[in-house]
Amino acid sequence: MSVTSKIRRQGGAAVITLPPTLLKLLHLEVGAQLELNVVDGELIARPVVQPPRKRYSLAELLEGSEEVAELNAQTAFARDGDSVGRELG
């Protein structure tokens, strides 16, 4: 498929418009990222493939919380006492 698009100015940037049919063929949506390269004077645009985001279980998120509780208990003395300056008490 060959598409002609005109470069135009929008604010301080130069932009091109991609027709919806081209986006559909590439399985892209507005907001997708493209990697742009110039090879032998030709512009090559490739979709950036993002690895899926890691999803954590509640158990994974709470892993290590016992160590944090122990650290808080060990450093409780540093949080005791009256306010000295303008800090909130």
Residue 89: predicted pLDDT: 60
Whether residue 74 contacts residue 66, with contact meaning beta carbons closer than 8 Å, is answered with no
Residue 69: predicted pLDDT: 84
For residue 46, what are the CA distances in angstroms to 6, 11, 16, 19?
A: 19, 25, 15, 16
| pTM assigned to the model | 0.49
Mind listing the domains of the chain with CATH numbers? 12-47 (2.10.260.10)
pLDDT at position 57 over 80:
yes
HSE-CB at 27 with a 13 A cutoff on CA atoms is: 2
